[in-house]
Amino acid sequence: MPSPESTVEPAAIRNARHDLAVGRPWQARDRLSSYCAAHLNERALDLLGDVHAAMGDLPAAGAVWFVLDRTDPLARDAAVAFDEYYGHSRERTWSALPRAVRMGSEVPRVADLRAEFGASRGADGNETLGSRAADALFMTSLFAGCGGLLSAAAVGVVTIIRWIFGGS
């Protein structure tokens, strides 16, 4: 038997439905995205997927419905768009999921991704990255930093040459 809390619709969902009714789907999307980042709620996720689909963003709808196992034609189209957009990359699939889904969902394919990327909750309750994800983030940051330093060095050399030889 469901608990009383599970039958009460959260304010975020009620307000998102109102946003949709008055023609503000972007506000419904923002409201539900914020709510779903912190709460694992299937009704909110399903509505967020519907909002994304209504706005024409099938890859985003597919990311949300990935955990709900929706099988209707729209969900299948969204799953195809999701796969095309993310290129069947498990890392990109993982990063496309809302944080609360990554950390709390026990759907087998989400749990498999969580195990693969070694993500877990830290002592403070925040998401921590496993070694593979942390290494990828480190390498990306390292390459970006090196690129920035090389760009700055090139600008410096050109500036010094112009200063020495009096170029304009």
> Where are the domains positioned within the chain?
4-121, 129-168
Between 30 and 122, where is the model more confident?
30
Quick one: pLDDT at residue 49? 93
pLDDT, average across residues 12-21: 94
Q: Which residues contact 59 (CB under 8 A, 6 or more apart)?
A: 78, 81, 82, 84, 85, 86, 96
φ, ψ for residue 65 (rounded to 5)?
A: -75, -10
pLDDT in tens, 17-74: 999 999 999 999 999 999 988 888 889 999 999 999 999 999 999 888 888 888 899 9
Q: Please, what is the average pLDDT of the chain?
A: 81
Name the β-bridge partners of 127: 121
DSSP line for 73-89: HHHHHHHHHHHHHHTT-
Quick one: pLDDT at residue 156? 92
Query: How many CA atoms are closer than 13 Å to the CA of 47, on its beta-carbon side?
Result: 27
Indicate the pLDDT class of residue 4, thresholds 50, 70 and 90. Answer: very low
Percentage of residues of the chain with pLDDT beyond 90: 36
